Amino acid sequence: MPATTRPAGIAVAVALLAMTSLSPAAHADGQPADILLLAGPDGQAVTLRREDLARHPISTARVFFSTGHGPVEASFEGVLLCTLLEEAGLTEEATRNAILRRVFTITGRDGYQVVLSGGEIAPMFGGAQVLAARAQDGKPVEGLARLVVPGDKSGGRHVDDIIRIEAAEGAPP
């Protein structure tokens, strides 16, 4: 199902309901499996499944980062986060450079959260190649996707088993 256009300038919540298997069963926490729900505060929603994510071009990122358990070197494959945000209508420009005032809070199933600015991931500004990764070193990641931020020196902004991305507008200048 294709994404619908969202009115620009409103905060939009994007819930990524992760999966651990290919079956359409619900998780222990009650969230449906194999679904990517793009929902706005207006009640409109777009639902994507694993096969819908698979139709996007795959990007690969080779990353090196430090963790509390030592250094990690890995290759991730997935969809660029900016592609998913564009499809959901979250990067539309109501005013000049509106993306620079947008922030995205990404939440994992375990409650872990990170924030990315629209300016750092927008292709015409920072252009960071942030991935909603589906595979690490050729093996599926836990859940539907893992947030991977290439270039970070630590893995602090990598989020396992993404369940939600919330977009919010900052204050106008």
Please give the domain boundaries of the chain with CATH numbers for all domains: 12-169 (3.90.420.10)
Let me know if 115 is exposed, middle or buried by CB neighbors in 10 A (0-12, 13-18, 19+): exposed
CA 25/CA 86 separation, integer angstroms: 28
pLDDT at residue 57, rounded to an integer:
93
The residue among 28 and 110 whose pLDDT is bigger is 110
pLDDT at residue 129, rounded to an integer:
93
CA 36/CA 32 separation, integer angstroms: 9
pLDDT at residue 85, rounded to an integer:
82
- The mean predicted confidence, pLDDT, of the chain is 75
pLDDT at residue 13, rounded to an integer:
33
CA 55/CA 168 separation, integer angstroms: 27
pLDDT at residue 7, rounded to an integer:
38
Q: How many C-beta neighbours within 10 Å does residue 86 have?
A: 15
Q: CB neighbours of 123 closer than 8 A, spacing ≥ 6?
A: 82
Look at the block and give the residue holding tokens 């005032």.
101
40-93 tens-digit pLDDT: 434 455 666 778 778 899 999 999 988 888 999 999 999 999 898 888 777 777
Q: For the chain, give the DSSP string.
A: -PPPPPPTTS-EEEEEE--SSSS-PBPTTSPBSSEEEEE-TTS-EEEE-HHHHHTSPPEEEEEEEEETTEEEEEEEEEEEHHHHHHHTTTT--SSTTGGGGEEEEEEETTS-EEEEEHHHH-TTTT----EEEEEETTEEPSSS-EEE-TT-SBGGG-BSSEEEEEEEE----
The residue among 33 and 108 whose pLDDT is bigger is 108
Q: Please tell me the pTM assigned to this model.
A: 0.75
The stretch 159-166 carries a mean pLDDT of: 84
